[in-house]
Each structure stands twice: as structure tokens, then as C-alpha cells.
Structure 1
Amino acid sequence: MTKYDYDLFVIGAGSGGVRAARLAAQLGKKVAVAEEDRPGGTCVLRGCVPKKFMVYASEVPEQIDYARGFGWDAQAGSFDWNAFRDRNQAELTRLSQIYSANLVKAGVEIVNAHAAFADAHTLVLTTKSGGQRRVTADTILIAVGGWPFLPQHCPGVAEHGLTSNDMFLLPELPKTMAIVGGGYIAVEFAGIMHGLGVDVTLLYRGQKILRGFDDEVRDHLSNEMTLRGVKIHTECDPVKLHLDEKGRTVVTLNTGGTATFDKVLYASGRKPKTEGLNLDALGIKPDVHGAVPVDPFSRTEVENVYAIGDVTNRANLTPVAIREAIAFVETVYKANPTAYDHENIPTAVFSQPQIGTVGLTEAEAVEKGIEFDVYTTRFKPMKTSFVGGNSRIFMKLIVERKSDVVIGVHMVGGDAGEIIQLAGIAVKAKLTKAQWDATCAVHPTAAEELVTLKDKRA
């Protein structure tokens, strides 16, 4: 008989924590998971899923414009934010209940409480009503994810700034909105809110939006967003927020001027949610970004304590957290040490238009000292040309000169998220440009351009 209450205790019931708990329980382990909110985590409750529903809703006006261009007598009608918001929340509740049901079916105990460490094998569980109890576990997995934060250097932000968590529960749509930030969350919500009829201004302190993405992708998306009507101001950062007599938010900018908006969204970053875990009890010190340091097998410096997902700040994506969970179970319970490979992860940004990317950017290839060739194309998709639109698709292949292997694929345009999934297989498999070229094109599609690019960029 084990000397611990549980074989495995998981802190956090997001995508990674749920997968690890289920797989371990299916192996006959006694497993529990602590969750302060509902099972589902960021992705299901306040991230990927509700945001994608908002993307779908916000794309309807453009689809109606296309319908008119193709001869349909299409009418836009009006958008009912309250009806959409409530339908969205109902769907999230349904999905969360499925997560709960799957945990229970696998034999996992769900504990609705906050968990904090007392020592390497002991956790203090605190319910919302204040009740406490202690439990012990042979192995503990930290899977608490990340959380949006508001910057502390700007007076008024805490009182008047919104985070991405707030966007799904707005009591009403604002007429005007400033979005502070230039990362994927900022550009996604800029497209969403603009599509829903909000006058959107994006404020970013850097020179170009989407730091870390390929420069040509950054430039192309910025141009496309501007073409659609989103106002983008770079090298521009709020230094103070306050309300005027009408309850609108006045933003004082580092450029010296002010601007007034109904709402201000701060999409300037997320950080690992380690506060309250009492990691000091284990001697674990988060890194400069607040992340829990782990080795390639997701083990912390404490032998029986592991961490996966966004709390480790390796690759903050739901599918990555799930793969890390699977690798954790292989390592701990199947005597098969497995380290998830974080290279060449396909990524989609649901901006408008979408971005799909996998592999190295041009700057990363230069930094690695790789000699490479670049193939690019910009073109109007068929349906845009038909209706007389100006939007263009951008595609880019980066090919290692010595091996002819395609080491980077980047796309901005419709369905980029869908296309990059399959391109990711080819990059992961290290296929050569010659093999891409030998693949028969599917005509007429946008994706066929990826296998018909012939001219190297000069």
C-alpha cells in the first residue's frame, strides 16, 4: 500500500493537466486534479475556443461583401452581441462539462480548490469558502498555465484597462477601442473587434507588430490590417489612463498627445500563473519570466515534481501542452523517458487575414549561420480578384542551400491556419524543395503556390 494519498496529483485542469491525469488514471494510477475554476483551462474557457467563435462571427460582414460581389442580394442586418456572448458561454460550459465527464470516466478525482505546496509531496487545498485540507502524492504535476497581466508602470491601467479574459463577457460592444500590444492576441482581437463593427486603434511600443515573426509576414499583415480599416500606431505607448466626465477612457501617450476610447484592451502579454503555489517550500525559483524551470523531460529540480504547458514558458500552445502531457506519462509511468521536440511547431495566428508559420524565420536562419534561398509570392486570390478587392496573399519558403531542405514556411492569407498544418508535416519530415516541387498542384487553389514557386528572391 502506497504511503501517499495519490500516485499523481495534478494542479490545474487545462488541456495539459487533463490529458496527463486521464492517461495516468487509465494506467491504474490513483489520480486527482485540483482546479479553482472549471475544467478546460485557458484554451476552452478564455482563449482559443471562445476567441475562434468570435473570429467566425467577425468574419460575417466580409463574407456578406463577397456575397454581393458574386451577385447575391445580401443584407448585413445587425449583430446582437448579447445573444452571441451568451451562446458562446453556453458552448464553453458544454465543453467544460465534457472535460469533467472524461476525467471522471477515467477515474480521476476532481477537487474544486486552490493547491499550494507544503513540501515536495504535500499540498494544501483551499476551497473558495476557505476550507482547507492536506493531501499527499507520490508525484505532483504543475499545469496551471498562464494569465494575462496589466503593466504596473502606467497609472490608471489597473482601474480602467481590460485584459483578454474580459473580452468574452463584455456587457456591450464599445463603439471605439484601443488595443495595446503587438503580439498575436492583440492582432487577433483587433481583427475581431473591427469585424464586429468597433472602431479599432492598435497601439504598439515597437517598430513593427508581431515581434518574433518573419519580417515580411509582419509587414504584410500590417498592410492588410490597415487596408481593412484598423488603425495601427507603432512606437506608441500609453503612459496614463483616466476617465472623462462621460466615462470614456482617456489615454495619455508617450508621444505627448491624448486619445479617447470607450474601452482599452491591454494585450501586452501573459505570464505563468505561479503566484500562490508556494514554490519557495520546494526551493524552486521561477525564472525571470516567472516560469517554472524544467529539464527536457518536464522535471523540475525537485525529483518528483514536474511542470508542463504555459507555466514552463517553452512553447505556449495548447497542442504543445498536450504533447508534453503525453511525454510526461511515458517518462514517469511507462519507463520510456520521452522529451517532446519543440522544434518546427506549426502555428496559426487567427488575425484577419490569418497567419500560418512553421520553421525558421529569415532572421533566425541568418542568426544560425545557415546559407539559404528565399522564394516568395504575393497574389490576389481568385474570389478577391472576381469582386474587385485589393487584399493579397503572401507566401514564403526558406530553403537551406546546401541540403535543399525547406526550413521555413510562412503564409498570410485566407485559410493559412489550415494550410500550415500540412506544410508543418513536410517541414518536420525535412523534405527538400525538389520534393515539394515534385508534388502535383491542386488547381485552382491558393495552396498550389507552395509547390509551384520557381524564382528565388534576388
Structure 2
Amino acid sequence: MNPQYQYDIFVIGGGSGGLTVVDEAQKLGKRVGLADYIKPSPHGTQWGTGGTCPNVGCIPKKLMHMTALIGEIRHELTATGWQGINPHSNHDWNTLVNEVQRQVKGINKANDDWLVTTNGITYYNKLGKLKDDHTIELIDKDGQFEFVTAEYILQILFFQFYYLLIIIIIIIIQILPNLPPIRYINQRIWILLSFQQYLDSKYIASNT
């Protein structure tokens, strides 16, 4: 620990990668800080920690997909002997929206409680920007700013490049003969990427 800095490691980005890094770092006794902030969209959309997946990706998508499947399966339930099922009942969109938002907010709160209450990690709901090798500028929603210092700074970037790379690889593989089907290859690419991200986060935390 270097007393010259406020933190041993400071992470910008509170998605799955950032949360994994701060978790591993605090287990090693490091002084850890985390900044995560989403600029509201023109419609005012914003979210908390967790990244894209639980906020606007996997969780909302799967809840909506599950709802659609339930709607379809009502017809099968009646045909296979289930009683009291109305295959022509209406769906209330607002109820679904409220449930999606409830689930997402629950995940955000669980993440925040885990960060601050359980592990004592300093969490800033502010936009983090690198000023130099050891200084981060933190800007809140009102434009007020402060500076913090850390011996090591990690900025988590969105994996758009990796998504594009995966798509290109899959397309190339599919035009080549005598190779496994796309589903088989896709699963293994994602497994390798996920495992690599996990190893990277453990390596970063253990070497800072």
C-alpha cells in the first residue's frame, strides 16, 4: 500500500468486469474505489451498477421473452388437459414494464449493498475520467467535480469490439467446409471469452 494515494486500485465502470475486479482486490486487502455513472438518455433512461446485462440487456430481455413464451404456451396447456386456463386472456403491458423495473432496481440495490455495506468499497455514482496516471476526475449529475488518486487505475470498456470480432469469426467459420455448426462454435467462443475475463480480473487484482 502506497500512502501517497487514496486508493490502491480504482476502477471506472461498475459492470460485471469492474465488480469482479473490486471484489478480488478487496479480498486481498486493497483499498478499493469504484466509479460508475450512466448519462441519462434523451428520454431520461438511466441505471445503476451492474452494466448493460442486468439493466438494459439480459434481464429485461429474458423477462419479456419469458412473458411471450407464457402467452404462447396457454394454448398448449388447454390442449394437454390443464383446466381453468383462458387462452384468449389479455396481456397488460404496464404490469410487465413495472415488473421489469422492479427486478432491475432490485439488482441495483443488491449490488450497491454488496459494494458498500458488505465489502466496504467506496462507491461513487459519478462519471470518472482519467486526468493522469494516478488521478481520476469524478463528475456528478450536477456537474460538480472532485479528484481522487490511486496507485493503479483500471477503466472497464464496453466489449463492442469483441462482439464485432466474434461475429466476424463466426461468419468466416461458417463459409469454410467441414466445421461444426454455428451453435457449437458460438457457445465455446463465449465460454472462452467469459473465462478469460474472469482470469484477467483476478490477475489485475492480485498484481496491484
TM-score normalised according to structure 1 size: 0.35
The alignment's C-alpha RMSD in Å is 3.0
- Report the Cα offset of residue 116 of structure 1: 1.1
Change (3 A) 1:100 1:325: farther
**What amino acid is the match of 1:44?**
P
CA displacement, residues 290-348 of structure 1 (integer Å, 9 cap, x when unaligned): xxxxxxxxxxxxxxxxxxxxxxxxx7x6994575244333355259xxxxxxxxxxxxx
Equivalent residues of 1:6, 1:30 under 8 A apart? yes
Q: What's the counterpart of residue 135 of structure 1?
A: 148
Matched with 1:109 is 122
Q: Is 1:97 paired with 2:109?
A: yes
Q: For residue 78 of structure 1, what is the amino acid of its counterpart?
A: N
Report whether the alignment pairs 1:79 with 2:91: yes
Return the offset for 1:24.
0.3
- Residues 124-144 of structure 1 deviation map (CA, whole Å, 9 limit, x = unaligned): 111110011111111111114
Distance 1:318 1:89 in 2: 29
Task: Decide which structure has greater helix share.
Answer: 2
Count of residues in Structure 1 that have an aligned counterpart in Structure 2: 178
Matched with 2:43 is: none
TM-score, length basis structure 2: 0.73
Q: Report the residue type matching 1:24 in the other structure.
A: A
- The percentage of aligned residue pairs carrying the same residue is 28
Q: Match of 1:89, as an amino acid?
A: Q
The answer to whether the 8 A contact 1:14-1:41 is kept is yes
Which secondary structure state, in structure 2, belongs to the residue aligned with residue 33 of structure 1? strand
- Describe how 1:12-91 pairs up with structure 2 within 5 A: 12-37=13-38, 38-72=48-82, 74-76=85-87, 77-91=89-103
Q: Secondary structure at 2:94's aligned position in 1?
A: helix
Match of residue 5 from structure 2: 4
Aligned-partner Cα distance in 2 for 1:65–1:98: 37
1:35·1:112 contact (CA, 8 Å) conserved in 2?
yes
3-state DSSP class of the match of 2:4?
coil
Looking at structure 2, the residues matched to 318 and 140 of structure 1 have their Cα atoms a distance apart, in angstroms, of: 27
2:195 & 2:127 partners in 1: Cα distance? 22
C-alpha distance in 2 between matches for 1:81 and 1:121: 48
Q: Is the 8 A contact 1:25 1:31 kept in 2?
A: yes
Greater strand fraction, Structure 1 or Structure 2: 1
Please show how residues 229-378 of structure 1 align to structure 2 within 5 Å: 320=193, 324-333=197-206
CA-to-aligned-CA distance 1:426-454 (integer Å, 9 cap, x gap): xxxxxxxxxxxxxxxxxxxxxxxxxxxxx
Opposite residue 82 of structure 1, the aligned amino acid is N
Going from structure 1 to structure 2, the CA distance change for 1:144 and 1:113 (only over 3 Å counts) comes to farther
**Alpha-carbon shift at residue 49 of structure 1 (Å):** 1.2
Report the Cα distance in structure 2 between the residues aligned to 1:25 and 1:87, rounded to whole angstroms.
Answer: 33
Deviations for 1:60-92, whole angstroms, at most 9, x for unmatched residues?
132122223323353231111110111111111
Q: Distance in 2 between matches of 1:127 and 1:136?
A: 17
Q: Which has the larger radius of gyration?
A: 1
